[in-house]
Chains A and B, each alone.
Chain A
Amino acid sequence: MDDLRDLYQSTILDHNKSPRNFGVPADSNRDAEGYNPLCGDELHVYLRVDAAGRIDDIGFEGSGCAISRASASLMTEYVKNQSREEVDRVFDAFHDLVTKAPKEGATPESLGKLAVFSGVREFPMRVKCATLAWHTLRAALDQTDQTAVTE
C-alpha cells in the first residue's frame, strides 16, 4: 500500500480529478496529438507561443489514466512562460525522475511539484503514462504533423 500511496499522491489524484488548463487556449498557434499505443491514452496539447518562442499559454484535452492526466495537468502549470531550452531541460530531468534512482550526493534539477511523480519509477509499466504529455509538448513545439508516441 505504501508504494501505491507514493504513486498516487494526493497532488496526482487532485490533478486527475480536476485537471488544470483543460481545454484549448485562446489564439493557440501550435498543437500536437500524443498517443500511447499500449494503453490507448490519447492527448492533445495546444500552445500559444509568443514571438520570442516562449510558451505564452498552454492547454490540453484527451483521455487517459490518472498518471497521464495528472502529468499533463501539472506539466501545463509548470512550463507556462518557459522557452524551448527550458522545456528541454525539464523534459530530461523529468524523464530521469520517473526512470532512474536518484544519484547519491547529486543535486537533481529542482522540479517543484513535478517531484510527485517520483513514485512512478517503481512501476516501469507506467513510465509512458507519465511521459506522454511531455513527448506531446515537444512535438507541439516542433510543430511536426506526426502524432507523438512514447515508443
Chain B
Amino acid sequence: MSVANHDALPADRFDVAAVRAQFPVLADDGPGRTLTYLDSAATAQKPQAVIDALEDFYTREYASVHRGVYALSVRSTQRFEAVREKVCRLLHTSDPREVVFTRGTTEAINLVATSWGGQNVSAGDEIVVTQLEHHSNIVPWQLLCERTGARLRVAPIGLDGCVEVDAFEALLGPRTKLVALAHVSNALGTRLPVAALCQLARSRGITSLVDGAQAVPHGSVDVLAIGCDFYAFSAHKVFGPTGTGVLWGRRDLLDAMPPYQGGGSMIRSVSFEGTTYADAPQRFEAGTPDVAGVIGMGAALDWLEEIDREAAAAFECELLRYASEALEAIPGLHIFGSDPEKVGVLSFSLDCAHPHDIATILDREGVAIRAGHHCAQPLMKFYGVPAMARASLALYSDRSDIDALVSALETTREIFS
C-alpha cells in the first residue's frame, strides 16, 4: 500500500454518492427499509456493472474455456484469460502466467501449503505466522505441520494490534521456511508493514506469502514493491462474485511446484504409464473453472480501475476518523486495535451488551454488522474476549452509515441500561 499520509490527499475529490448509487442493494427503499451495510470486511456488495457483466456473459458469451474450437468457446476463453492481465494491473505486475485462479483466498493459501509446502517443508522446519491471522492463514499451515512434522511459530502483536517487528525478526531462524502474513487484519484493520517483513524474510532466503484479502479492497497493492513470493485475494471482497479469487506467485516458484489437484485442464498428456502436467498457471487449475466468476471478477477490476483509489483511500481515512470519534463518544464502548495506518474496520465491545445482542438489536434498525470471533480465535484469546462486534467500511460507505450505527448503538444501550 503506497498511501502513507492520508491528510495530504484530496478526500473531497471522491464522490461517494456517485459510487453508492451504483450499488442496487444500497438503494433507498423508503423509511425503515434502507440497508446500512457495515459488513464489507466479510464480503462486499456488488455494483450494477458486475451484476450486468454476469448476466451478459451468461446471456451471450458463455461456453467452456480452453476446450472448444467453436467461436463461442474461443471468445469465452479470450475473455477468461484477459482477466489474468487485469489482475496483473491490479497488483502492479506484468506476467499473466503468475496469476492462478482459485476459489478464493482460502484455496490459494491451501494450494501453497499443499504444493509448495509439501515440496519444501520437512520435519523440524518452521513456518511463521502472526497472532492476528485469519483462520485461513493458520489452519492450512497447521495441517502442513501435521503432515510434515514442521512447527508453527507465532509472531506476537501489541495491544495496539500491531505486529512487533523485532519479535517477528527474532523468530526467523535457520529452520524458517516460510512466513505467512495478513496484509491487513480482518478483525482489527491493522495494516501490517508487509514490505519490511517480507524483506526480512527474503534477506534470509525465506519464502513469504501475503494474505491480501482485506488489503485489495482498500487501496493500491504492488506485489513487487512488497517483495513477497505469493499473494492471495478473493474476488468477493473486492466487489466481484463469490467463488473465485487469485493466487499470484513468482513464476520461478510456480514453475517448480507440483500440481495441487489432479484432473482435466492441468495436464499436458495423460497415459496410464505416466502423466505430464501443464505449465503454471494451468497446472494449478484442475477441472472446469468458475468461468463466469472470473469474468465477474474482471468486471469488478474494470470497475475499480475507474475509481480514483487515492481519493477513495483518503475519503475512507476521514470516514474512519469520523466513525472512531463517534463511537468513542459512546459511554462503555471500547475499540480494539489502534494502528494509525489502519483501514476502515472498527471492532468494538460495549460494557453493557454482548456482541451478539448488539448485532441483533442493530439488525432490527437495518444496520448489518458482524459479531463473533471473526475467524480469528487466537486474536480473541489475545484480547481476552469471546467475541467482538465489527463494523467495516468499503468504497460505498458514508457518514449516513455511521450515523445509523451510532443511533442503533444508543438503542442498544437504552435496552441494556
Q: Is B truly associated with A?
A: yes
In the complex, the answer to whether B373 meets A40 with C-beta atoms within 8 Å is yes
In the complex, the answer to whether A7 meets B386 with C-beta atoms within 8 Å is no
Given contacts A3-B364, A123-B360, contact A66 B353 (CB under 8 A): yes
Output the residue of B360, B364, B377 with the most chain A CB within 10 A. Answer: B360
CA distance A65 to B386 in the complex (A): 10
Tell which of B373, B386, B415, B416 touches A64, judged by Cβ atoms closer than 8 Å: B386
Chain A 1-31, CB within 8 Å of chain B: the 1/0 string? Answer: 1011101100001000000000000000000
Q: Judge whether B356 is part of the interface by a CB distance below 8 angstroms.
A: yes
Tell which of A5, A42, A66 touches B354, judged by Cβ atoms closer than 8 Å: A66
Minimal Cβ-Cβ distance residue in A for B417: A13
Given contacts A4-B364, A39-B372, A42-B386, contact A126 B356 (CB under 8 A): yes
Chain A nearest Cβ from B381, distance in angstroms: 10
Chain A nearest Cβ from B134, distance in angstroms: 16
Chain B nearest Cβ from A149, distance in angstroms: 15
Tell which of B387, B411, B416 touches A39, judged by Cβ atoms closer than 8 Å: B387
In the complex, the answer to whether A4 meets B415 with C-beta atoms within 8 Å is yes
Q: Judge whether A61 is part of the interface by a CB distance below 8 angstroms.
A: no
In the complex, the answer to whether B371 meets A39 with C-beta atoms within 8 Å is yes
Given contacts A3-B364, A126-B356, contact A40 B416 (CB under 8 A): no
Chain B nearest Cβ from A4, distance in angstroms: 5
Which bucket holds chain B's interface residue count?
10 to 19
Report chain B residues within 8 Å CB of A137. none
Instruction: Give the contacts of A104-135 with B (CB-CB under 8 A).
Output: 123, 125-126, 129
Minimal Cβ-Cβ distance residue in A for B386: A40
Q: Judge whether A77 is part of the interface by a CB distance below 8 angstroms.
A: no
Tell which of B373, B387, B415 touches A8, judged by Cβ atoms closer than 8 Å: B415
Report chain A residues within 8 Å CB of B387. 39-40
In the complex, the answer to whether B372 meets A38 with C-beta atoms within 8 Å is yes
Chain B nearest Cβ from A142, distance in angstroms: 25
Chain A nearest Cβ from B162, distance in angstroms: 24
Chain B 132-175, CB within 8 Å of chain A: the 1/0 string? Answer: 00000000000000000000000000000000000000000000
CA distance A41 to B386 in the complex (A): 7
In the complex, the answer to whether A65 meets B380 with C-beta atoms within 8 Å is no
Given contacts A4-B364, A13-B416, contact A65 B372 (CB under 8 A): no
CA distance A130 to B65 in the complex (A): 50
Minimal Cβ-Cβ distance residue in A for B372: A39
Q: Judge whether B328 is part of the interface by a CB distance below 8 angstroms.
A: no
CA distance A20 to B168 in the complex (A): 46
Q: Judge whether A67 is part of the interface by a CB distance below 8 angstroms.
A: yes
CA distance A81 to B364 in the complex (A): 39
Report chain B residues within 8 Å CB of A126. 356, 360
Chain A 58-94, CB within 8 Å of chain B: the 1/0 string? Answer: 0000011111000000000000000000000000000
Report chain B residues within 8 Å CB of A13. 415-416
CA distance A4 to B360 in the complex (A): 8
Report chain A residues within 8 Å CB of B416. 8, 13, 66
Chain B nearest Cβ from A35, distance in angstroms: 10
Minimal Cβ-Cβ distance residue in A for B371: A39
Report chain B residues within 8 Å CB of A64. 354, 386
Chain A nearest Cβ from B373, distance in angstroms: 5
CA distance A123 to B132 in the complex (A): 31
Q: Judge whether B56 is part of the interface by a CB distance below 8 angstroms.
A: no
Minimal Cβ-Cβ distance residue in B for A5: B415
In the complex, the answer to whether B415 meets A65 with C-beta atoms within 8 Å is no
CA distance A13 to B353 in the complex (A): 10
CA distance A40 to B356 in the complex (A): 10
CA distance A3 to B360 in the complex (A): 11
27 A-B residue pairs with Cβ-Cβ distance under 8 Å, sorted by A, are A1-B364, A4-B360, A4-B361, A8-B361, A13-B415, A13-B416, A38-B372, A39-B355, A39-B356, A39-B371, A39-B372, A40-B372, A40-B377, A41-B356, A41-B386, A42-B386, A63-B386, A64-B354, A65-B355, A66-B353, A66-B354, A66-B416, A67-B356, A123-B360, A125-B360, A126-B360, A129-B356
The 8 closest A-B CB pairs, nearest first, are A65-B354, A65-B356, A40-B386, A66-B357, A40-B387, A65-B357, A40-B373, A39-B356
